[in-house]
Amino acid sequence: MIREYLQTHYDEIISKVKAITKNHELTYDLLNDCIISLLEKGNDYTTQLVLDEKVQHYLVKMCYIQFNSSTSPFYLKYRKESKKSNSIEGYEIEEKPIEVKEDKKKLADDIKLYIGKLPLYHREISTKHLIEGKSQREISRYYNINRIHIGRDINTVQKNIKLTFNRKDYESE
């Protein structure tokens, strides 16, 4: 009974979920995770939802909570995948021998190269904050991620940049 409902109303549900996620690249994964979670509830529960005509409301609400909560399984899965691709902890940039001391433009270029080699999530927020000058609040609203997480991750990147690059090496004589 639930499977037939989902097959007939899937397009309508996905359009509402896309509106919530602002057409995020993982929208389909989010909805599929929520459908699997719903099906795990059991046949009695899902049948009652179909009879009460609350399946769509349930799935949209569940997607909203999963997407916006920083403790949801979906959010944790997304963040873990982002960090698995190229962990920032222990990340080392190739050390180049410094031939001649350069100016601050060289330092800025090297920092941009460093940011470009970071994992996707850290690269995006670092570029927006450090290069484009966006505030943490703006980045938080754009990615729909809690501002505290954005701030923590930007601070981690800034600390790693300070440890990797020494300003004295880039001063002109």
Give residue limits of the domains in the chain. 2-80, 86-170
Considering the entire predicted model, what is its pTM? Answer: 0.45
Q: Distances from the Cα of 52 to the Cαs of 58, 62, 143, in angstroms?
A: 11, 17, 35
Q: In terms of pLDDT, which residue wins out, 117 or 173? A: 117
Which pLDDT tens digit goes with each residue over 82-126?
544 444 444 444 555 545 445 677 878 888 888 888 888 888 999
Out of 1.10.10, 3.30.310, 1.10.3470, 2.30.30, the CATH code matching 86-170 is: 1.10.10
Contact status, residue 75 vs residue 69, Cβ threshold 8 Å: yes
Contact status, residue 123 vs residue 92, Cβ threshold 8 Å: no
Q: In terms of pLDDT, which residue wins out, 75 or 80? A: 75
Report the residue count for the chain. 173
Which pLDDT tens digit goes with each residue over 3-37?
888 888 888 988 888 888 887 777 888 888 888 88
